[in-house]
Amino acid sequence: MLQLFNWLIKTFPSLASHQELTAFVLFIILGLLVLTFAAVVAGSLTYFERKVAARIQSRMGPIEIGLGGYIQWVADAIKLLLKEDIIPENVDKILFRLAPYFAFLGAGLTYLVLPFSEKLILADLNVGVLYFLAVSSITVIGILMAGWASYNKWSLIGGIRSAAQIVSYEIPSALAVLPVVLYAGSLSTQDVVRAQAGWAGFHWMIFQNPFIFISFFVFFISMLAENNRIPFDLPEAESELVAGYNTEYSGMRFAMFFLAEYSNVFILSAFAVTLFLGGWQPLFGLSLKIPGTAVDLWKLFSFFFKTSIMVFLVLTIRWTLPRVRIDQLMGLCWKYLVPIAFFDLFGVMFWMVL
Amino acid sequence: MNGFWVNFFFILLSLTAILSALYVVLTNNLVRAAFALFFTLFSVAGLYAILSADFIAVVQVMIYVGGILVLIIFGILLTRTVFDMSLYDKKMSKFWAGVIVVIMALIFLKVIFGTDWLVRSGTTIQPVTARLGNIFLSRYLLPFEVASVLLLVAIVGALFIARREVKKR
């Protein structure tokens, strides 16, 4: 971001006298870009999810609206935007209105440190990985707020379940990231990706060390649980709670929750790729002779290709596995994932010292 | 960027922190007070970031917003009567409360005016994480270890209080 600012000042000397204004406009434009990107990714993911679900269940999925169903998600978004905004009688009106934004804030802020390519990152914070772990926990406040403000027992139970689940699973996911940070020697997401340079993926974090290989699965499972995906979607289990914390929501506010949920699917896959699977490190190394500017595009493509595969995996898990029970959920976290994560951490430490 | 925006965000974040903290103290709605704490804690993290303490800013969000605040809200939602509750304690004497507040205010004022405040040098932000780690494991190793043992004891104690006795037959 700072580089872009300096480049702008250098290229257009007339801007130098209005630095404050330039910075302000730049912030606004970049913020809007991130929001647009998040919305487009989340929207197209809903289409992708319905197609995957349909294939797994031998159905067709959306095929009617425009271009053989490809723009179904645009139609869905427009429909949700145009719906009446219903606020039930007894809800806590301020909190009810605020909750969807908090739910999205946790997902939206993580885009800041996501390295799409070597040069394409909003802010290369030197505490990037920690920042990702920190801001992704804001979502739970939005969910608790929605659950309480709805004035509805199912919503409240959904919210409380979600809080218990997210607070518990934050521990194994953070512990599973630590080995990667130790190996890369930096908390910056760009440095973590740079540490994975090498030919054809043999230098990806996941293959560097058997303990990190296990850590990857701990991270993946606990991220699934943190984002309330099936098999861990107890906060909105339809068979037990009507729809969990978003029961009372409709129209655009409901869409905000889904924007947050699908952004989280993308973020979960993107960070699994960044931390463990090489990030934007080009696939097949750079043994392919490609000209200078195409390298950046190839890196961008590598990142999105790997992320798409991870997204597909997450969706497949959702449509092929049954939901776990709440005691199994907590047992999995505290009895299996946390000890395994600690074991991995110590294993990596010994590996690095010896 | 430059001085103007640093000042702008400093004023914005301080105002948010102070106003939301006032709301937390003055409101009668317990749940809203807990949610308003979010703004206080988050703006304090922003203030840390302005002071180029990036690691502390992120840890503030992680521990206070992601951990402690969630647990506070969780606790409040699990209690029985959160609606229309009067948060005024009738047993408390206003006189003694006032005396304590005045004493506290005097102490704070003495600290504020008696300290030699470090002025942040330059506008660029230096990474502190590595330096923090080095200092913790060299110069402040003993306090660091004592704090770790204290936390460990607290965790074991919490588990001991919370556990359920299994009766043997």
pLDDT of residue B88: 62
**Which residue in A5, A141, A163 is closest to B38 by CB distance?**
A141
What is the predicted pLDDT for the residue at A82? 87
Interface contact B129, partner A, CB < 8 A = yes
A287: pLDDT strictly greater than 60: no
> What pLDDT is attached to residue B128?
76
Give the pLDDT band of residue B57 (cuts 50, 70, 90): confident
Cβ-defined contact of B1 to A19 (cutoff 8 Å): yes
Taking residues B52-56, what's their average pLDDT?
Answer: 81
CA distance A227 to A261: 7
- The per-residue pLDDT for B84 is 58
* A7-21 per-position pLDDT tens digit: 777 777 666 667 777
The letter for the amino acid at B23 is: Y
Chain A residues touching chain B at CB-CB below 8 Å = 2, 5, 19-20, 23-24, 92, 94-95, 98, 102, 125-127, 130-131, 133-135, 137-138, 140-141, 144-145, 147-148, 156, 159-160, 163-164, 166-167, 170, 187
Cα distances (angstroms) measured from residue A286 to each of A144, A197, A203, A253, A302 = 47, 10, 14, 45, 12
A133 vs A240: which has the higher pLDDT? A133
The pLDDT value given to residue B89: 63
- What's CA B73's distance to the chain center, in Å? 15
- Chain B residue with CA closest to A5: the answer is B1
**A125/B61 Cβ within 8 A:** no
pLDDT at B168 over 80: no
- A141·B129 Cβ contact <8 A: no
Question: Which conformational region is residue A185 in: left (phi greater than 0), alpha (psi within -120 to 50 degrees), or beta?
Answer: left
Q: What are B80-114's pLDDT values in tens digits?
A: 665 555 656 666 677 888 899 999 999 999 998 88
Cβ B61 vs Cβ A134: under 8 Å? yes
Mean pLDDT of B24-52: 84
The model carries a pTM of 0.83
Cβ neighbours of A132 (radius 10 Å): 25
Q: Is the pLDDT of residue A118 over 80?
A: no
For residue A344, pLDDT beyond 80: yes
Both structure tokens of A252: 């655009």
* Count of CB pairs separated by less than 8 Å, A with B: 86
Domain edges within chain B: 3-138, 139-169
Mean pLDDT estimate for chain A? 81
Instruction: Decide: residue A150, CB within 10 A, 0-12 exposed, 13-18 middle, 19+ buried.
Output: buried
Q: Taking 60 as the threshold, does the pLDDT of residue B1 lie above it?
A: no
Residues A180 and A205: beta-carbon distance below 8 Å = yes
The token duo for A206 is: 């996941």
Amino acid in position B80: R
Question: Smallest Cβ distance to B77: which of A5, A19, A156?
Answer: A156
pLDDT at residue A135 above 80? yes
pLDDT in tens, A210-263: 888 888 888 988 888 887 777 777 666 666 666 777 777 777 888 888 888 888
- Amino acid B67: pLDDT: 81
ipTM of the complex, rounded to two decimals: 0.78
Residue A334, pLDDT > 90, answer: no
Q: Is B61's CB within 8 Å of A134's CB?
A: yes
Mean pLDDT of A125-139: 84
Nearest CA in chain B to A168: B67
Residue A285 has a pLDDT of 61
The CATH number assigned to the domain with range B3-138 reads 1.20.120.1200
- Confidence class for position B153, pLDDT limits 50, 70, 90: very high
The answer to whether B125 touches B52, Cβ cutoff 8 Å, is yes
Q: Is B156 exposed, middle or buried (0-12, 13-18, 19+ CB in 10 A)?
A: exposed
pLDDT band of residue A275 (cuts 50, 70, 90) is confident
Residue A57 has pLDDT above 80, yes or no: yes
pLDDT at B81: 62
